[in-house]
Structure 1
């Protein structure tokens, strides 16, 4: 499915007058209940609309989706940005009675990691690692829930690189921390649904300053993907009001290891010195 066709509402509205009676029933239900339909099987959706499962599958084909699973995925992508936190939480409550919540959440995280691994572009990963190593300074920008990822990445890159800065939203205005970034620097921007507008606007500013932009986000439809030189993708399906950062964290671990493998000797010496300091000041418990 092409990018311009990703908004299922636009597809339905454009083709509605040519639908059969059954197709119009499906379309009406999806438009009015897209948050529920996104998590229904074709069979379950057919029960709610009052038509057969095969008709649901044919409806997906009529919209040029490659089967019902792709239509369902389009609905799930839609609710990532359209659902408020309250609506996400209500959705969790509604479906928690129908399935084992613990299993559902953990299975979703496992699936996100698996899909991230399967779709990973190793050439892009290698190029990203090289750009970071060659940069004069590295800035890491992640706001709201993505701030956790930014801090984690910054913590470990500081062991490997000499000049790493994590942009702190709570200290002063974000833009003030970015104003001196130039073409010798690399910015790693992280953003996942619901995407932070300030992250997007900050990256637009940074592009004008000539620095290289590397983004870590969830899909090619993310606002950051179209304005970054290189992008690494990590899946994060919606299962609750919580933003699942398990797959993004796994991808960041991979990036850190990829960079560290190119700086083995330096890193070995760094950790040798640090171990002496940690032992002298009892940084870690020995019990």
Structure 2
């Protein structure tokens, strides 16, 4: 039974306030996914506790389960819509790689409406205003952290990647503060080390941006902003292009805060990198 069917079935048993929540949920599912219970209560003109009681009335454990149910419902609805490729060349209609790329585009499009625009802009602002940006990703998420760390280093100073096996880890954590932004990738069950780092960062009032594979990820309890990019029935390979597209969007939003400054820094970085490459080649050829 879908979330909408469940609401309709139990609607007559709901209180007046809970009915307002029910109507809001069915009319604004993406708003529920992207916001907390307090914000949904504000927009539905009821209290946060009424939103929580509505979840209990729906036989759910709480608000997070409601969000997950809505995500699953929207994803199942999307699966029923036939894929409409942007390009319709004969090569794409017949090639296997074309179908894969079309599926990637569809997955990205399906994720767009699940992202809270205001939260993304706020996260980009935190990145822009931060004295230092730390990036953390363990196990399979390490490659994402590597890419984001390198890309941000071409745009600004004080970008550091946290590694749980680094000798400098304790020193890096101690240097965090209110003007620090920590970006955490939690695409699988995060390790105890990651959990401990995030807990300490929260106590130090760090702005924590969590990029997860599920809205139910425990890391959401410590994050200032959560972006759940995992979709129903998606493999880890399906999530990769979605994740990189999201990171690109987040970086572009950060750049929009001061385009001239970031462009100047990037040009300077590329020039220095080019000069260093020339020196390496020259040394190999024993020019000096």
Q: What TM-score bracket applies, with the shorter chain setting the length?
A: 0.5 to 0.7
SS at 2:227 equivalent: strand
Matched, 1:154 2:181: no
SS at 1:219 equivalent: coil
Q: Which structure 2 residues correspond to residues 268-283 of structure 1 after superposition, within 5 A?
A: 268-281=263-276
| Coordinate RMSD, CA, aligned | 3.8
Q: Against the structure 1 CA distance between its residues 152 and 269, is the aligned structure 2 distance closer, same or farther, given a 3 Å change threshold?
A: same
Take 1:259 and 1:71, find their aligned partners in 2: how far apart are those partners? 29
Whether the aligned pair in 2 keeps the contact of 1:215 and 1:231 (CA below 8 Å) is: yes
Counterpart pick for 1:208 among 199, 203, 206 = 203
Aligned to 1:261: 256
Matched, 1:131 2:129: no
Take 2:241 and 2:110, find their aligned partners in 1: how far apart are those partners? 12
Take 2:251 and 2:177, find their aligned partners in 1: how far apart are those partners? 23
Whether the aligned pair in 1 keeps the contact of 2:156 and 2:262 (CA below 8 Å) is: no
Whether the aligned pair in 2 keeps the contact of 1:138 and 1:187 (CA below 8 Å) is: yes
Q: Against the structure 1 CA distance between its residues 277 and 185, is the aligned structure 2 distance closer, same or farther, given a 3 Å change threshold?
A: closer
Matched, 1:221 2:216: yes
Q: Which structure 2 residues correspond to residues 1-287 of structure 1 after superposition, within 5 A?
A: 70=73, 109-172=104-167, 174-175=169-170, 177-236=172-231, 244-281=239-276
Gapped regions of structure 1 (runs ≥ 5) = 3-61, 74-99
Whether the aligned pair in 1 keeps the contact of 2:164 and 2:194 (CA below 8 Å) is: no
Whether the aligned pair in 2 keeps the contact of 1:238 and 1:244 (CA below 8 Å) is: no
Q: CA deviation at 1:241?
A: 6.9
SS at 1:119 equivalent: coil
SS at 2:175 equivalent: coil
Whether the aligned pair in 1 keeps the contact of 2:133 and 2:158 (CA below 8 Å) is: yes
Q: Against the structure 1 CA distance between its residues 104 and 179, is the aligned structure 2 distance closer, same or farther, given a 3 Å change threshold?
A: farther
Q: Deviations over 1:31-87 (max 9, x none)?
A: xxxxxxxxxxxxxxxxxxxxxxxxxxxxxxx999989x74997xxxxxxxxxxxxxx
Q: Against the structure 1 CA distance between its residues 275 and 239, is the aligned structure 2 distance closer, same or farther, given a 3 Å change threshold?
A: closer
Q: CA deviation at 1:243?
A: 7.7
Aligned to 2:6: none
Take 1:143 and 1:230, find their aligned partners in 2: how far apart are those partners? 19
SS at 1:262 equivalent: coil
The TM-score with structure 1 as length reference comes to: 0.57
Q: CA deviation at 1:268?
A: 2.5
Take 2:164 and 2:137, find their aligned partners in 1: how far apart are those partners? 9
Q: CA deviation at 1:139?
A: 0.9
SS at 2:126 equivalent: helix
SS at 2:154 equivalent: helix
SS at 2:113 equivalent: helix
Q: How many residues get paired?
A: 199
Whether the aligned pair in 2 keeps the contact of 1:213 and 1:229 (CA below 8 Å) is: yes
Q: CA deviation at 1:173?
A: 7.4
